[in-house]
Copies of this chain bind each other. A is one copy, B any other.
Amino acid sequence: MPAARKKNLPPVSEEALTLIASWFRTLAEPSRLKIRRAREEGAKNITELVTATGLTQANVSRHVQSLVDAGMVGRRREGLTAICFIADPSITELCDNVCNNLLKRLSQQVKKLGGA
């Protein structure tokens, strides 16, 4: 049956693609990656995230909102402060994997260019 070359995966709707894309978009900002990492290093509330990242308060607040919307971190008010917590720990592993993949790929490029 040489004609049946095409894999027939279940169709993915436009809306699903949009949703998945916006999830990836949340991770497509250095500032948000920085915030996520700062949270992992111990910074819990907005002020701590501000000092840890060097971003402005308004900026951190908005980015945290994005992360919350994506379900990656959670946030609860405790008195005056807003406590952030990791809601999806798998993101950490994902970022590490991506980082390692990039390192691997880039070092291969370095090797290829090595003799030039």
Q: How far is the CA of A102 from the CA of B5 in the complex (A)?
A: 30
A116 in the interface, Cβ–Cβ < 8 Å? no
Q: A55: CB under 8 A from chain B?
A: no
A25 contacts which chain B residues (CB < 8 A)?
Answer: 24-25, 28
A33 touches B20 (CB 8 A): yes
Interface size class of A (residues with CB under 8 A): 35 or more
Q: Main SS of chain A's interface residues?
A: helix
Stretch at the interface among A34-42, A56-64, A77-85: A34-42
Q: Judge if A12 is at the interface, Cβ distance under 8 Å.
A: yes
- A99 to B30: give the CA distance in the assembly, Å: 23
Q: Shortest CB–CB separation between residue A37 and chain B, in angstroms?
A: 6
CB distance B7 to A99 under 8 Å? no
Residues of A within 8 A of B (CB): 5-9, 12, 14, 16-25, 27-30, 32-34, 37, 40-42, 71, 88, 90, 94-95, 98-99, 101-102, 105
